[in-house]
Structure 1
Amino acid sequence: MKNIEGDRAIWAVVAILALFSIVPVFSASSNLAYINGGDGNTFSYVLKHLVHLSLGFALIYFFHRVPYHYFKGISMIMIPFVILLLVITLTQGTTIGGANASRWIFVPYVNLSFQTSSLASVVLLMYVARYLAKYKDKEISFKQSVFFLWIPVFFVTGLILPANLSTAALIFMMVIILAFIGQYPMKFIGYVIGISVAFLLIFGLTAKAFPDLFPNRVDTWISRIENFSEASGEEQYQVEKAKIAIATGGIFGQGAGKSVQRHFLPQSSSDFIYAIIVEEFGLIGGISVLLAYLFLFFRFTIVVVKSSSFYAKLLAIAVGLPIIFQALINMSVAVELIPVTGQTLPLISSGGSSIWMTCVALGVMLSVSKKSNRSEKTNDETEANESEENPLDVLSETV
């Protein structure tokens, strides 16, 4: 245990959520187990989920051992690589699990599919945190920030947008929030939002005029906004089944493994797993899961407040806030507060890339909290000294 550092409360809640996820994944995977002539045995799906969680915790451990200031250089180096992966995904990506767009890239030889937008989100937000911290208290021109800050943001979100509007919008919203907290000039933020709205309108009109370029994307967006689902009715079907699951859950639920709607929800183990949780564990279970994420948010806030450097504060916000937003979005979709987005429930929904990137973000958060805890005991280290010790920081400061 001596090698496990950082905020112990975060470690505890993450472990509890991961262990709890085994039960709803085991239950909710039954419909998948019957597809293509299966016998309904969900053991293989639970085993796969356990492997994903195990690799995820290995990532948490690895990244929490990395000094947080190393992520300045790492994010800068990774940005071109991420953009290349997104280009490949957009042009050659595959459709998995009934998704209506190509969002995954297939890795040969290891028989692995990976959702590149998950990696892009973490890397981009760390890059933005680095940029904002570097130019804090410095006079900055909009032209200069466009090249070094907003072009990477527009590239990443623009490449994700055609296949996954909700993820692109979530990433862009996180960037704007981070820019506001990072004291980026408000008038420049207004310029960026205006440019983004104009680009979205142009993209929508282009997709409408040339439907073969992005088949059904704009119609899907409009239908989701108006009807909270696609016009085909498949998503509306899932929303209705999710509402039935929540309604039948009552106060105490039907009991673990006794969900009925899991047999009818195609995305019951991922996008709509919260509905299965409420059906089986009732209102008490649903509120408990919500409180767990809110407690994580509270601990993230503590890490931000305790952080001694501006970069550490921004980095903690960059990796922590999207996890909470994604959880709230997933639960809001299940209760039909917002349209279907395809966002998973962090650490609970099945899926490798979403779990792994959440764990990478948690590892970075714990790295920041580890430094914060040490700073309470010894306050003799400064950000400048850290930069001198880290060759990746030296590289990042030259850009």
Structure 2
Amino acid sequence: MKFLQSLRLNKKLLRELDYVTIIIAICIVTFGCVNIYSATHNSSTGNYYFEKQIASMLLSLIIVYFLLVFDYMVIENYAVIIYWAGIVLLIIGDVFGKVTNGANSWINIGPINIQPSEFAKIGMIIMLAKQLDEMEGKINNLENFVHLLFYAAVPMILIVIQPDMGMTMVSFFIVLGIFFCIGLDRKIIIGGITSILILVIGAWNSPIFQTYWKGRLTSFLHPEENASGSGLQLIQSKLAIGSGGIFGRGFGNGVQFNSVPENHTDFIFAVLAEEWGFIGALLLLLLYGILVYRLIQIAKGSKDIFGTVLCIGFISNLLFSIMQNIGMTVGLMPITGITLPFMSYGGSSLLTSFIALGLVLNVGMRRKKINF
């Protein structure tokens, strides 16, 4: 009985919960489920992806509740365990992972597929938040900065080895967002970005970058040059988005998106734009805008550095993922396997997005002392 009572949220804490943020997130997921259903229900899989996404959402909401029960400061005490558990998952994925689209980025456990990099990304943010909290935010101290770089580099190197370029980019921009917002000297940021560009150029001309990945990363520049190969996905996506016009073809009436590979995962935006048109795309962007704004407000109101960095890390992840995913569907960004947060099909992606959201909401709930 005492255990069950410990899992109840206090009414005073519930008053501090940002319900609007939760509702916005659920609206985006629901919109995603509708589009996943439209994209897949006429295929050989039937309602499989739709039903599985609904189940993932319900599981995610249950986990969010449990995350809200405990003070987020408790998580700081387990940051080391969470971080290294993510690293172990990445190593297992690198060695024994299932090859998907040229990368060892998935672990199969019976019928369950896990993407280790999604969970390692969460662990990295938590670890950086803990370290910066202990350093009192003094990031421009050389010893502190090198320390932080180590914890950021380990998971990123393991993700590069897979190689998962999309998740590598996401991780890089998470770290960049945290370092910039915490106050890292801009000269160091510019120097770091320059060094990374040099390394990328070197890696591009080495065996690390497979021909497959080079094709995917550059096909957005001239997709018509390989219209039946690496450029097919983007060409079909742009046709689907363009055919939607202002108001879209209507739910269930999309034709072009059926020819877009990965239309229920990485290219879900093409489905949305064709069926719901510019108005539907604008509605989604509005929902994302409200969500990001409210998360920023929570970050500003955090009572400590640990909570602030948690929020910054997850906001950076959300912003870059949205920009990269939508950008690649319209030909403005290279094609990578980055899902559209809360919209795309994928249990690991949806679960970790809600875990991140739960942690940020936890920070907001406990931004001030509650007298019991």
What is the TM-score with the length of structure 2 in the denominator?
0.87
Q: 1:351 to 1:308 in 2, by over 3 A?
A: same
Q: What does residue 254 of structure 2 align with?
A: 259
Displacement, 1:111? 2.2
Q: What does residue 120 of structure 1 align with?
A: 120
Aligned length: 360
Q: Give unpaired runs (5+ residues) of structure 1.
A: 208-212, 382-399
Which of the residues 54, 62, 67 maps onto 2:66?
62
Are the aligned partners of 2:21 and 2:294 in contact in 1 as well (CA < 8 Å)? yes
Q: What does residue 312 of structure 2 align with?
A: 317
| 1:329 maps to 2:320 | no
| 1:93 maps to 2:88 | no
Q: What does residue 3 of structure 2 align with?
A: none
Secondary structure at 2:286 match in 1: helix
Displacement, 1:176? 1.8
Task: Give the share of equivalent positions with the same residue, in percent.
Answer: 26
Q: What does residue 388 of structure 1 align with?
A: none
Question: Aligned equivalents of 2:298 and 2:138: distance in 1?
Answer: 25
| 1:6 maps to 2:17 | yes
What is the TM-score with the length of structure 1 in the denominator?
0.82
| 1:160 maps to 2:159 | yes
Question: Aligned equivalents of 1:101 and 1:233: distance in 2?
Answer: 22
Question: Aligned equivalents of 1:342 and 1:260: distance in 2?
Answer: 23
| 1:47 maps to 2:24 | no
Q: What amino acid maps onto 1:133 in structure 2?
A: D
Instruction: Trace 1:29-48 onto structure 2 (pairs within 5 A).
Output: 29-30=40-41, 33=43, 38=44, 42-48=46-52
| 1:302 maps to 2:302 | no
Secondary structure at 1:6 match in 2: coil
Q: 1:221 to 1:140 in 2, by over 3 A?
A: same
Deviations 1:277-332 (A, max 9, x none): 11111111010001110110110111112222232222111123312321222111
Secondary structure at 2:125 match in 1: helix
Q: What amino acid maps onto 2:353 in structure 1?
A: T
Displacement, 1:244? 1.2
Instruction: Trace 1:1-399 onto structure 2 (pairs within 5 A).
Output: 6-30=17-41, 33=43, 38=44, 42-96=46-100, 99-107=101-109, 110-136=110-136, 138=138, 141-143=141-143, 145-146=145-146, 148-162=147-161, 163-190=163-190, 192-207=192-207, 215-216=210-211, 219-220=214-215, 223-224=218-219, 226-227=221-222, 233-372=228-367, 375=368, 378=369
Q: Give unpaired runs (5+ residues) of structure 2.
A: 1-8
Are the aligned partners of 2:220 and 2:234 in contact in 1 as well (CA < 8 Å)? no
Q: What does residue 5 of structure 2 align with?
A: none
Displacement, 1:231? 6.1
Displacement, 1:188? 4.5
Question: Aligned equivalents of 2:138 and 2:228: distance in 1?
Answer: 52
Secondary structure at 2:107 match in 1: strand
C-alpha RMSD of the superposition? 2.7
Question: Aligned equivalents of 1:271 and 1:317: distance in 2?
Answer: 24
Q: What amino acid maps onto 1:117 in structure 2?
A: S
Displacement, 1:42? 2.3
Question: Aligned equivalents of 1:121 and 1:195: distance in 2?
Answer: 22
Are the aligned partners of 1:136 and 1:182 in contact in 2 as well (CA < 8 Å)? no
Q: What amino acid maps onto 2:183 in structure 1?
A: Q
Displacement, 1:28? 1.0
Are the aligned partners of 2:218 and 2:334 in contact in 1 as well (CA < 8 Å)? no
Q: 1:193 to 1:310 in 2, by over 3 A?
A: same
Are the aligned partners of 1:228 and 1:338 in contact in 2 as well (CA < 8 Å)? no
Question: Aligned equivalents of 1:23 and 1:88: distance in 2?
Answer: 34
Question: Aligned equivalents of 2:139 and 2:352: distance in 1?
Answer: 34
- Report the more deviating stretch, 185-194 or 162-171: 185-194
Deviations 1:159-214 (A, max 9, x none): 1124111211221122022112112344544554455345434433432xxxxx66
Q: 1:286 to 1:80 in 2, by over 3 A?
A: same
Question: Aligned equivalents of 1:247 and 1:222: distance in 2?
Answer: 22
Q: What amino acid maps onto 1:80 in structure 2?
A: W
Q: 1:250 to 1:222 in 2, by over 3 A?
A: closer
- Report the more deviating stretch, 149-158 or 70-79: 70-79
